[in-house]
Amino acid sequence: MYLEFSPQRREEPLDLSRTGDVLTINGTDFDFSDVADDEIRPSATYESDWITQDVTRINGVLHLTLILAHGSNAPQATLFPEPITLSEDGPVTLPEYDIIIEEEILI
Amino acid sequence: MPDQSPRLQLPYIQPSQAQKHVTHNHALERLDVVTQLVVEAFGAVTPPPAPVMGQIFALDATPLGDWAGQSGLLAQWNGENWLFITPSEGWRAFGVSEQELRTYQGGSWQGLLAGLDQLDQLGIGTSADPTNRLAVASDATLFSHNGAGHQIKINKDTAPDTATVLYQSGYIGHAEMGLAGDNNWSLKVSPDGTVWHQAMVVDSTAQSIAFAPAGTERSVMSDTDFEINVPVSGTAVQTDATDLNPTALMPVGAFGLGATDSIATRLTNGQIPLGSGFYSGSGSSANVATFPNSPSRYSPILSMNRRITTGQYQITRMYFSGQTPIINISSDTGATWGTYNTLYGTKNLVGTVSQSGGDPSGAGIERGANANGEYTRFADGTQMAWNGNAAITTAPASFVGTITKIDGDKLWIGRWF
């Protein structure tokens, strides 16, 4: 599974987990197993604001573009993300949502 | 030759006189009265109903009854009638009821002591001496009034002399008050009669009162100034930094005023009612609910009260979260508190914008850029996005609701909440 990301400032971080051709996006399962090779499936099919671009399968590999939510202090790796290829099931490690600035506490 | 003696008027017996015993006994009668004269009372007015033979009375100027008309005479009851004798100047008589020896002077009986004057010394119950020319040994000495007031006067010759009252214990002096070597009133005390210090001076010239409990002047009061050179304590001073007693003096640190080190009153609860002043938070993370946010738990707090009515106050409180002031108000004496108002400045005007229930809870303006373009987000909910000079395909920041898309998607304007 080949994942591209479209970064967007959002309040809710992206949470992703893969099981074969099924992606769990923030708790909701999306099954892409019925996408055939070279088929271009419109994003509207999935009624998810995380999936904003068409889904396709090239040479048996599913190609997806997902919104990558980030906070106001996100690192460059999140703001300009690189695509990733998933080969294993389980939770997906994503670029960091935000850099938490430690509270300055002077005692 | 006269027929009676010149002083006591005793009748003489005449040559060849008959009834000599009568004259003789008459003389003896008079001698019996005036010799070793003892009267029952001075100034007697009324004769006793049953006089005892030999009793003598010194009569009043206007006696009554059998004594009528015998003004000022001596009267002796001889068993049958009253014998009257005129006293002479200088006679002495002891009054039984008065228990007093008197002399007949100027027509009346006067106490012997009435004439005490110019004595060298006088000791009452003890011995006087050339220094203590009047000495009294007694449980008490009474100086009373004679119808109105009374003064005891202690007079000295010149200013450098001393006119004081000295208090002794076992003849060792421990306190002395009065005019000691000058004309100011002073009180001196001594633990041993040898070492003395002046504990109090009322200066009649400078018109001041000075106190020196241990010999060093610690307090001076004048008509225009009250100087105190020792720390003040007691109920006149606040018991702690939050003592609200309106008549107590405030030391440094009271309500946090003037404190340069730690503020005396550190709060674990940021919403409790307090007197107006400066405080500091010391709450743990468990207490953060009563502070605007976590950093303000450790920061100074400015608390100001405005009286609404008796016992009711509006409390305005300013917290500090780092360099950001946060203001909160309670209009019911701290029972309930409103939502916090954060002041915007150079540190937080631009930053991470957030909201809570539509109210800003973060910075005023947020700016960001990512692979999809750039955006600016405002605390009021407005958001703009653009993508260089190209069309936006995916919003670089999420919008909610309708997006106004301008110039072929080059500029999107809408809301982020």
Nearest CA in chain A to B281: A107
Which positions 146-185 of B are in contact with A (Cβ < 8 Å)?
A: none
A7-27 as b/e, with b when 16 or more CB fall inside 10 Å? Answer: bbbbeeebebebeeeebebee
A chain contacts of residue B352, beta-carbon cutoff 8 Å:
71-73
Angle at B101 between CA B97 and CA B107, to 5 degrees: 100
Which positions 383-412 of B are in contact with A (Cβ < 8 Å)?
A: 394-398
CB contact under 8 A, A72 and B366: yes
CB contact under 8 A, A73 and B322: no
Which positions 250-269 of B are in contact with A (Cβ < 8 Å)?
A: none
CB contact under 8 A, B298 and A107: yes
Question: What distance in Å separates the CA atoms of residue A70 and residue B366, rounded to the nearest whole number?
Answer: 13
Q: Which of A7, A8, A105 sits opposite B298 (nearest CB)?
A: A105
Q: Which of A8, A53, A74 sits opposite B398 (nearest CB)?
A: A8
Close Cβ partners of A80 (under 8 Å, ≥ 6 residues apart): A7, B370, B371
- Report CA B350 to chain centroid distance, whole Å: 63
Amino acid in position B242 = T
CB B407 within 8 A of CB B387: no
Interface membership of B377 toward A (CB under 8 Å):
yes
The 8-class DSSP code of residue B251 comes to P
Interface membership of B86 toward A (CB under 8 Å):
no
**Among B168, B218, B163, B153, which Cα is nearest to B186's?**
B163
Question: What distance in Å separates the CA atoms of residue B303 and residue B192, rounded to the nearest whole number?
Answer: 56
Q: What is the per-residue pLDDT for B288?
A: 86
For B184-299, strand residue ranges (E) read 185-189, 197-203, 208-211, 219-222, 226-228, 266-267, 277-281
Close Cβ partners of B178 (under 8 Å, ≥ 6 residues apart): B154, B162, B163, B164, B165, B185, B186
How close, in Å, is residue A80 to chain B by CA atoms? 5
Question: What distance in Å separates the CA atoms of residue B113 and residue A55, rounded to the nearest whole number?
Answer: 141
The two structure tokens encoding residue B92: 């002495």
B chain contacts of residue A69, beta-carbon cutoff 8 Å:
398
Asked whether residue A106 carries a pLDDT value surpassing 70, the answer given is: no
The 8-class DSSP code of residue B276 comes to S
pTM for the complete prediction? 0.60
Q: Which of A56-60, A102-106, B379-383 has the lowest mean pLDDT?
A: A102-106
B225-238 as b/e, with b when 16 or more CB fall inside 10 Å? Answer: eeeeeeeeeeeeeb
Tens-place pLDDT, residues B14-23: 888 889 899 9
CB contact under 8 A, B368 and A6: no
Residue to mutate among B297, B324, B348, B398, with most A CBs inside 10 A, is B398
pLDDT tier at A107 (50, 70, 90 boundaries)? very low
Residue to mutate among B366, B370, B377, with most A CBs inside 10 A, is B370
Residue to mutate among A10, A48, A49, A72, with most B CBs inside 10 A, is A72
Q: Which of A73, A78, A104 sits opposite B322 (nearest CB)?
A: A104
B chain contacts of residue A74, beta-carbon cutoff 8 Å:
368, 370
Interface membership of A48 toward B (CB under 8 Å):
no
**Among A53, A14, A55, which Cα is nearest to A32's?**
A55
How close, in Å, is residue B330 to chain A by CA atoms? 26
A chain contacts of residue B377, beta-carbon cutoff 8 Å:
9
Per-residue DSSP letters for A28-85? EEEE-TTPPTT-EE-GGGG--TTB-S-EEEETTEEEEEEEEEE-TT--HHHHSPPPEE
Phi then psi for residue A65, to 5 deg, are -120, 120
Nearest CA in chain B to A98: B352
Q: Which of A52, A71, A74 sits opposite B394 (nearest CB)?
A: A52
Average pLDDT over residues A71-90: 93
The two structure tokens encoding residue A60: 């048996």
SS3 B254: helix
Question: What distance in Å separates the CA atoms of residue B44 and residue B300, rounded to the nearest whole number?
Answer: 96
Interface membership of A67 toward B (CB under 8 Å):
yes
CB contact under 8 A, B368 and A10: no
Q: What is the per-residue pLDDT for B258?
A: 84
Q: Mean pLDDT, 10 residues at a time, over chain B (417 residues)?
A: 84 88 89 91 94 94 93 92 92 91 90 74 93 95 95 96 97 96 96 96 96 95 96 92 90 86 80 90 86 88 93 94 92 92 92 92 94 96 96 95 95 96
